[in-house]
Amino acid sequence: MSENKEYLPVIIKEDENLEVCGFVRRDIVHSSLRIPHISVNIVPIIRGTEKTILQKRSDKRRVDPSKFDFNGGHVTFELNLFSRNNTLEEVNDKTALRESREEIFVYANGRQYLFSANDLFRFTKVGELLTGFDDINSINVGYMTGYILFIPQNSTIIISDENEDGNVQELSYREIEITDVVSLYKEKPYEFACGATSILKELSNPKTDVYKRFWNILNLNKNK
């Protein structure tokens, strides 16, 4: 969807709680105004392995063009975000499933595989990861939720993304061990988009809760 037609929730943090205080057009959010919003970032994992799908963002993207990233997207306008405390959690989960289905096309045994909620696991708290706050040059300032998406083995995979102008583009990607991605990030952090950077910072430190949750989910699902 074109940037000037999509509205994102404006997020404020009070104590440890995230609250929606309004909605702003996406192109204004991604501007020098640096308006905090909320998004999801999805780490695809080939089930039964420790391999991820590391994509390269389109060179037409306003934010982090041509950089390495995982999949993901923004939580968008929903009136019920004003209604209940746990709605933000529910909408993040729904957004992660929607983005998985829109960006990752998987064909297994000759048929398209449709992702379900059973394939997705949240490994952070809602909005636990931060993007852009510590970089005055960033126009992508917000709170991010991390997910693991399990992909069937021996599948044909196509990664696509919709640019801000509404055009859909197939992206190049690598199947690579997640530990190798962490090593690559440590060597060349400037080659990674801000969303992937927020996750890889955590996965570079075995002492963090996010690291422990990520590997616990991965290990529990290895033989499923």
Strands 68-69 and 120-122, sheet pairing: unpaired
pTM of the predicted structure, to 2 decimals: 0.94
In this prediction, residue 85 has a pLDDT band, given cuts at 50, 70 and 90, of: low
**Rounded CA gap, 93 and 184, in Å?**
29
pLDDT for 224 equals 66
Residue 23 forms beta bridges with which residues?
9
Which residue segments constitute the domains of the chain, with CATH numbers given? Answer: 3-220 (3.90.79.10)
pLDDT for 205 equals 98
Residue count (the chain): 224
CB 218 within 8 A of CB 45: yes
The residue-averaged pLDDT of 38-66 equals 95
* 168-180 pLDDT tens trace: 899 999 999 999 9
* 27-44 pLDDT tens trace: 999 999 999 999 999 999
Is 123 in a helix, a strand, or coil?
A: coil
Strands 142-151 and 37-46, sheet pairing: parallel
Q: Out of 52-61, 82-91, 98-107, 141-150, which region has the weakest mean confidence (pLDDT)? A: 82-91
**Rounded CA gap, 119 and 166, in Å?**
27
pLDDT for 3 equals 58
Q: Out of 3-7, 40-44, 82-86, 203-207, which region has the weakest mean confidence (pLDDT)? A: 82-86
